[in-house]
């Protein structure tokens, strides 16, 4: 019997940071200590998880493409901290962090990376293709930009069902040049869909810097022609992200239509594991790490606020344990049974 | 001398129409450009304007008359004797003296159907012994959608001109009135985007029907169909179904040339994760569309514009369902098996009648579903007839016929008494010129010749 990820092991990291039903009056109100700690924990979990994934890739345990989120943690954690129960999330292929922030099990994600039965997609999806209906996470899409109309469709469904949900649709600065993004902006605005387009501008579309690929690098203005409000945010500052998220959420949820958040962020690693990142200097990366690291930033704040160092230590220990256990499961779980080859192609229909 | 005003052809496929209203009476002076009558086709009501100055002297066809053939003289007017205006007697250029102006309902750019000489098609065996109702394929498709929308709130339709325009081909006529604009949604011309959006809505637990004005435009969206709709169930380990129907006219219309005349059966049938159906009769169109809408998987529903106006008996019941994946023997025979789908079924049946006169009894299988393919039905038939002809309108290379041929080769090789043969469209982009287009499209006589060859009776080859 393959070891399955235990449902109870990881608490939904976003839950503790979730605001009350009405997000009103929260902007510019510093979250309480509990919320700050939870966000620190969520970012640290992503960081440690990704570091481990990088190691496992180096050991040949993870195959194919593997896109790490290290450096960008504040974006998804800040935004997911203001998500509500039935909001949906969709993103592209740099997706491990989003899944963890949605409360998906670290073990299930890691086991998918290793292509094992215990993975979220039974090993059939891999790094770029994971989903959780239970957590309203709709992927994990490997085609640049394809998740954007899908996200609008999730927003369409929220509106159609009138369930109050908002579709968080993440895309990168590279995807921001895809045609279907603008087809989507048009429809989302035309039909006032509850969608937040989060452009994670990490400044490099694979190896091409934004100025080299993009005419008009202020990506938050890309919706202006469609009447979509856009805002640029320091994506390395989780509190700024959270504040912007509260504002955008309130806007989209109240029926005013879509909202664009451009998160200025930075990935420390290459585009994928096989990317030597020769298109930027070591100094540039080091400067970001040293001066703008989102986790260090929040950690300093927590300490200034009087949080005991032991509390942070405790978090560190807890996270190490989660990642280790996830790794064990990811390595011990068997590969999918050959019988899985022909399952899940079509849903059987009873005649 | 008076000028004749003739019934105009308002589309290349129109053979007759309803003269719904005269806007002039005898004695009226009209000037070139004046609207003189309203004519209704199966797709639209159009205004007709005079192309000459003069007075109406005679009205030969009263308003309200239906089935007025194109080219029939409908009125006379006094005019300049030096010029004889009007459609030639063969009706081939009936627009000469009365031009349709701005189409109120027919899209100017939309492809149009080829004329079909016969209205009543050879009836075929239906698994139904209840009451039937004669209706067109167009009406059957509309009824299927309306019935499913009534029974499931999650079903909605989106596409270009599906709502206020009532459908570029009137397939969605009346749906906006009944279901409102929440569920019958006009999209911008943005196939890639609205297809992806509909896929997202299907992930979000709705049941979208996406109409492509024609399947040619689905190529803009094929990434979302194949990479997002078809593969996500597998990539999610079975978590994320995508219950969605992509439907619209497929294949050649008439005189709309290469970019608007293509069969996508083989393209989509190639992909695991999709179901692909292509009905011929109205009964199958209705029953299969209802199945497609209820199906938890993405279904490519290939219609044919030329077939929209064809009438068939359709079971008069909301319980009429045709399961996806089953072919239908539409004519029993013993000497040769002919497989076909969509418009080619009619041609195959015509060919079978012709062959019967020559003493060959062909068994005609309407595939109805291309994926899953009812290969067992084909194999059983081949075991009986020992000969197989595959017919399709699309290109031959890697087509549906290639697949059927290979599967029969694998499953019934020992039963074959002759090489499997294909009757297909020619391996060229569809030409515009009428003669070249005719050479490109497969005809019933091509099927007759192929069958004779398979029976080693090579008459006419």
Checking if the pLDDT of A257 tops 60, the result is: yes
Contact A129 B236 (CB under 8 A): yes
- Give the residue carrying structure tokens 């229909």: A349
Tell me the domains of chain A and their CATH numbers. Answer: 13-342 (3.40.50.970)
Checking if the pLDDT of B119 tops 70, the result is: no
Mind listing the pLDDT tens digit for each residue in A103-136? 999 999 999 999 999 999 999 999 999 999 999 9
Mind listing the pLDDT tens digit for each residue in B257-299? 999 999 999 999 999 999 999 999 999 999 999 999 999 999 9
- Give the residue carrying structure tokens 């011990």: A332
Residues 6 or more apart whose CB falls under 8 angstroms from that of A155 comprise A166, A167, A169, A188, A193, A194, A195, A252, A258, B200
Checking if the pLDDT of A13 tops 90, the result is: no
A2 touches chain B (CB under 8 A): no
Whole-number pLDDT of residue B274 = 98
HSE-up of residue B277 (Cα within 13 Å, Cβ side): 29
**Can you name the residues that pair with A261 across neighbouring β-strands?**
A198, A231
**Mean pLDDT of the residues in chain B:** 89
Task: Return the minimum-mean-pLDDT range out of A140-154, A283-297, B43-57, B363-377.
Answer: B43-57
Work out how many CB contacts closer than 8 A connect A with B: 154
**Of residues B204, B223, B323, nearest to A88 (C-beta):** B204
Eight-state DSSP code of residue A226: G
**Of residues A146, A345, A346, nearest to B224 (C-beta):** A146
- In whole angstroms, give the CA distance from residue A255 to residue B417: 68
Q: Is B47 a catalytic residue?
A: no
* Bigger pLDDT: B17 vs B440: B440
Which chain A residues are within 8 Å of B241, Cβ to Cβ?
Answer: 347
B47, B49, B160, B260: the catalytic one is B260
- In whole angstroms, give the CA distance from residue A24 to residue B248: 46
B139, B160, B191, B393: the catalytic one is B191
| Phi/psi at A152 (5° precision) | -65, -35
Which chain B residues are within 8 Å of A88, Cβ to Cβ?
Answer: 204
**Of residues B196, B237, B296, nearest to A122 (C-beta):** B237
Q: Is B260 a catalytic residue?
A: yes
State the ipTM, two decimals. 0.89
* Bigger pLDDT: B151 vs B110: B151
Tell me the domains of chain B and their CATH numbers. Answer: 2-100 (2.40.50.100), 132-315 (3.40.50.970), 328-454 (3.40.50.920)
A153 touches chain B (CB under 8 A): yes
Which chain A residues are within 8 Å of B233, Cβ to Cβ?
Answer: 344-347
Checking if the pLDDT of A94 tops 60, the result is: yes
Helix then strand count (H, E) for chain B reads 12, 23
Helix (H, G, I), strand (E, B) or coil at A74: helix
A-chain residue closest to B238, CA distance:
A344
Q: Quick check: pTM over 0.95?
A: no
A287: left (phi over 0), alpha (psi -120 to 50) or beta: alpha
Q: What's the length of chain A?
A: 351
Beta carbons of B54 and B29 less than 8 angstroms apart: yes
- In whole angstroms, give the CA distance from residue A267 to residue A4: 31
Percent of chain B with pLDDT over 70: 88
A347 touches chain B (CB under 8 A): yes
Residue B260, class by beta-carbon neighbours within 10 Å (0-12 exposed, 13-18 middle, 19+ buried)? buried
Which chain A residues are within 8 Å of B228, Cβ to Cβ?
Answer: 141, 143, 146, 150
Work out the number of other CB atoms within 10 angstroms of the CB of residue A50.
Answer: 25
Which chain B residues are within 8 Å of A346, Cβ to Cβ?
Answer: 233, 273, 275, 297
Sign, CA dihedral B147-B150-B155-B156, equals positive
Whole-number pLDDT of residue B125 = 57
- In whole angstroms, give the CA distance from residue A50 to residue A1: 27
Contact B296 A349 (CB under 8 A): yes
Q: How confident is the model at residue A273 (pLDDT cuts 50, 70, 90)?
A: confident
Find residues 313-342 of chain A whose CB sits inside 8 Å of chain B: none
Percent of chain A with pLDDT over 90: 87
């Amino acid at each position: 019997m393959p070891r399955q990820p235990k449902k109870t092991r990881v608490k939904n990291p976003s839950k503790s940071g979730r605001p009350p039903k009405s997000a009103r009056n929260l902007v510019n109100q510093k979250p309480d200590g509990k919320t700050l700690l939870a966000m620190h924990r969520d970012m640290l979990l992503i960081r440690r998880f990704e570091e481990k994934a990088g190691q496992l890739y180096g050991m040949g345990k993870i195959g194919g493409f593997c896109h790490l989120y290290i450096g960008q943690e504040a974006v998804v954690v800040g935004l997911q901290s203001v998500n509500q129960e039935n909001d949906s999330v969709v993103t592209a292929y740099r997706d491990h962090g989003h899944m963890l922030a949605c409360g998906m099990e670290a073990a299930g994600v890691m086991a998918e990376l290793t292509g094992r039965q215990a993975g979220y997609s039974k090993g059939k999806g891999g790094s770029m293709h994971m989903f959780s209906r239970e957590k309203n996470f709709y992927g994990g899409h490997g085609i640049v930009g394809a998740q954007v109309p899908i996200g609008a469709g999730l927003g369409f469904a929220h509106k159609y069902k009138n369930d109050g949900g908002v579709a968080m649709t993440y895309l990168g600065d590279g995807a921001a040049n895809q045609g279907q993004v603008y087809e989507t902006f048009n429809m989302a605005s035309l039909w006032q869909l509850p969608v937040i387009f989060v452009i994670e501008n990490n400044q490099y579309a694979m190896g091409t810097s934004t100025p080299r690929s993009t005419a008009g690098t202020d990506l938050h203005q890309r919706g202006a022609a469609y009447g979509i409000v856009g805002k640029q945010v320091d994506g390395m500052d989780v509190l700024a992200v959270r504040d912007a998220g509260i504002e955008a959420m309130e806007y989209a949820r109240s029926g005013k239509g879509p909202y664009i958040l451009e998160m200025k962020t930075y990935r420390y690693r290459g585009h994928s594991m096989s990317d030597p990142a020769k298109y930027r200097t070591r100094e540039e990366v080091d400067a970001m790490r040293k001066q703008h690291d989102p986790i260090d930033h929040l950690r300093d704040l927590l300490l200034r606020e009087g949080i005991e160092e032991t509390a942070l230590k405790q978090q560190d220990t807890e996270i190490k344990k989660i990642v280790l256990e996830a790794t064990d499961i990811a390595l011990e779980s068997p590969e999918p049974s050959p019988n899985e080859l022909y399952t899940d192609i079509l849903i059987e229909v009873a005649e | 001398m008076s000028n004749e005003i003739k019934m105009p052809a308002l589309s290349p496929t129109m053979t007759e129409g309803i003269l719904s209203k005269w806007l002039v009476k005898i004695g009226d002076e009209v000037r070139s450009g004046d609207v003189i009558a309203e004519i209704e086709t199966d797709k639209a009501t159009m205004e007709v304007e005079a192309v000459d100055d003069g007075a109406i002297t005679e009205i030969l066809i009263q308003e309200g008359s239906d089935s007025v053939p194109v080219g029939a003289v409908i009125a006379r007017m006094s005019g300049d004797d030096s010029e004889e205006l009007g459609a030639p007697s063969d009706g081939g250029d009936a627009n000469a003296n009365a031009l349709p102006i701005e189409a109120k309902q027919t899209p100017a750019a939309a492809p149009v159907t080829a004329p079909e000489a016969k209205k009543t098609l050879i009836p075929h065996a239906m698994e139904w012994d209840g009451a039937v109702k004669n209706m067109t394929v167009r009406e059957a498709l509309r009824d299927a959608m309306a019935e499913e929308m009534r029974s499931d709130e999650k079903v909605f339709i989106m596409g270009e001109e599906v709502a206020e325009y009532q459908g570029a081909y009137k397939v969605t006529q009346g749906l906006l009135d009944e279901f409102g604009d929440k569920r019958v949604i006009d999209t911008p011309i943005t196939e890639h985007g609205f297809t992806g959006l509909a896929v997202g809505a299907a992930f979000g637990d709705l049941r979208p029907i996406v109409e492509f004005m024609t399947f040619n435009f689905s190529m803009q969206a094929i990434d979302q169909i194949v990479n997002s709709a078809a593969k996500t169930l597998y990539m999610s380990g079975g978590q994320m179904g995508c219950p969605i129907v992509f439907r619209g006219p497929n294949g050649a219309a008439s005189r709309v040339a290469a970019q608007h005349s293509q069969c996508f059966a083989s393209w989509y049938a190639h992909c695991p994760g999709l179901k692909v159906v292509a009905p011929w009769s109205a009964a199958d169109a209705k029953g299969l569309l209802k199945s497609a809408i209820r199906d938890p998987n993405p279904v490519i529903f290939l219609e044919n514009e030329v077939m929209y106006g064809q009438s068939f008996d359709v079971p008069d019941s909301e319980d009429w369902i045709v399961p996806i994946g089953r072919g239908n023997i539409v004519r029993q025979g013993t000497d040769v098996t002919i497989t076909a789908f969509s418009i080619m079924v009619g041609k195959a049946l015509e060919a079978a009648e012709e062959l019967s006169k020559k003493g060959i009894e062909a068994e005609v299988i309407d595939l109805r579903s291309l994926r899953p393919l009812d290969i067992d039905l084909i194999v059983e038939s081949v075991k009986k007839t020992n000969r197989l002809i595959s017919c399709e309108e699309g290109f031959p290379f890697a087509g549906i016929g290639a697949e059927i041929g290979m599967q029969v080769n694998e499953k019934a090789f020992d039963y074959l008494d002759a090489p499997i043969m294909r009757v297909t469209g020619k391996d060229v982009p569809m030409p515009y010129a009428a003669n070249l287009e005719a050479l490109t499209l497969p005809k019933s006589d091509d099927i007759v010749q192929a069958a004779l060859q398979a029976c080693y009776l090579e008459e006419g080859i």
